[in-house]
Structure 1
């Protein structure tokens, strides 16, 4: 046995490492096309591993999507080993895991959508406390569970949904007089949709009600520049909440 560095063997080892990592990442994807493609690749690799006498103990584990998978499971072990996992068993396990993940994301999405609908209903009924609670639950589920695991195109749609919820919650917070928090939500919505008319108007209203009149006027100007065809509406909305605030001061 020699201690000399074998560059060719090392490069071959690293290539197989990269391939295994890509397969594991693909299997953890929420994109069914990527999962199927990775399953196909895994079957090809498993077939080569079964026939090969060279690969024995490469890659002790690969960490992907917070799951550590023992690559030795790709190699058939002795029947008496309780951790034995044949090629067929491994593929069934992967398919079952992918299906369970997809089902859990589906259930999380149903639950979050329910909170959104309940929040909108409560807002229309002027039950702003309940609306706020529902919007908080929706955004919590979206950010903690199903949003991070989404495929890119679905994540874009989710961002749009999240922008709408930030706007809904901002308006709810304005109704409750929680203007600082309303301002924060309006700004979050504007990060996603920079020219959102509602986002700009809620931001301007929050600034005004916080006594930040110059910032409010700057935001109104920004809204007029971004929506030149809506200037009359913008001025009308501005007049409504400034009048409402002034009436409140007189009471």
Structure 2
């Protein structure tokens, strides 16, 4: 083999070696690219809190605190009006009580006027007029035993015994179960109706509920029987 042939072979070999090296480099680069581009990138696990993360945490905490504060303000805002409403309600109740007292006083004044007229009519033996006046008085004050008793006695004078019993029973059942005059007028009405049993019952309860008035009750019984 001539020297020229050997040089050519060497060059050819060197050229092939270079090609092989470049090929290997290209393969290495290709593998690296595939590895970076094709493989699934694992999430980075942080072992430290960076300044950025801390700020975010602070913002989150502030957000939570702000929400909590807002909720507290909302509760205060809700409680405040309720307390105010309670105060306003109590104040209104007091004002209403004062107003009711004024109205009651005025009603009592008017009722007393009609009661006086009724008493005057009764003394003049104008029993029907007396009943009218007592009725007007009751329209203004419905819880006065005196007015019902006065009207019951007026009914008794007119021999309207059943109506007298109604007034007497109203006092006993609704206003004052121990009322002496109501029990006595009730007894008188039943006696005039010929109902001895209810008469005795009325007298018995009159004595039971008013044991300090036995003498007065006895005197009433004697006068009542004397009128028959």
Short-chain TM bin: 0.5 to 0.7
Could you state the TM-score of these two structures normalised by the residue count of structure 1?
0.53
- Which structure 1 residue ranges, 5 or more long, are not aligned? 32-64, 66-100, 144-158, 246-251
- State the alpha-carbon separation in 1 of the partners of residues 86 and 181 from structure 2: 47
- 1:231 pairs with 214, 220, 228, which one? 214
- State the alpha-carbon separation in 2 of the partners of residues 235 and 165 from structure 1: 24
C-alpha displacement of 1:239: 3.6
- 1:178 pairs with 156, 160, 163, which one? 160
- State the alpha-carbon separation in 2 of the partners of residues 200 and 108 from structure 1: 27
Contact kept in structure 2, 1:189 and 1:199, CA below 8 Å: yes
Rate the CA distance shift 1:176–1:28 in 2: closer, same or farther, 3 A: same
1:198 aligned to 2:197? no
1:132 matched residue in structure 2: 131
2:114 matched residue in structure 1: 115
- State the alpha-carbon separation in 1 of the partners of residues 184 and 214 from structure 2: 12
For residues 211-230 of structure 1, what are the structure 2 equivalents within 5 Å?
211-230=194-213
Rate the CA distance shift 1:189–1:7 in 2: closer, same or farther, 3 A: same
C-alpha displacement of 1:105: 5.8
Rate the CA distance shift 1:216–1:105 in 2: closer, same or farther, 3 A: closer
C-alpha displacement of 1:187: 2.4
Structural RMSD (CA): 2.9
- State the alpha-carbon separation in 2 of the partners of residues 24 and 226 from structure 1: 41
Larger fraction in helix: 2
For residues 145-204 of structure 1, the C-alpha deviation after alignment (integer angstroms, 9 at most, x for no partner) is xxxxxxxxxxxxxx5xx1111111111111122222211221233343333321211111
- State the alpha-carbon separation in 2 of the partners of residues 105 and 168 from structure 1: 21
For 2:141, what is the secondary structure of its paired residue? helix
Q: Which has the larger radius of gyration?
A: 2
Rate the CA distance shift 1:142–1:241 in 2: closer, same or farther, 3 A: same
Q: Relative contact order, CA 8 A, sep 6+: which one is greater?
A: 1
For 1:30, what is the secondary structure of its paired residue? helix
C-alpha displacement of 1:138: 0.6
- State the alpha-carbon separation in 2 of the partners of residues 164 and 105 from structure 1: 17
2:145 matched residue in structure 1: 163
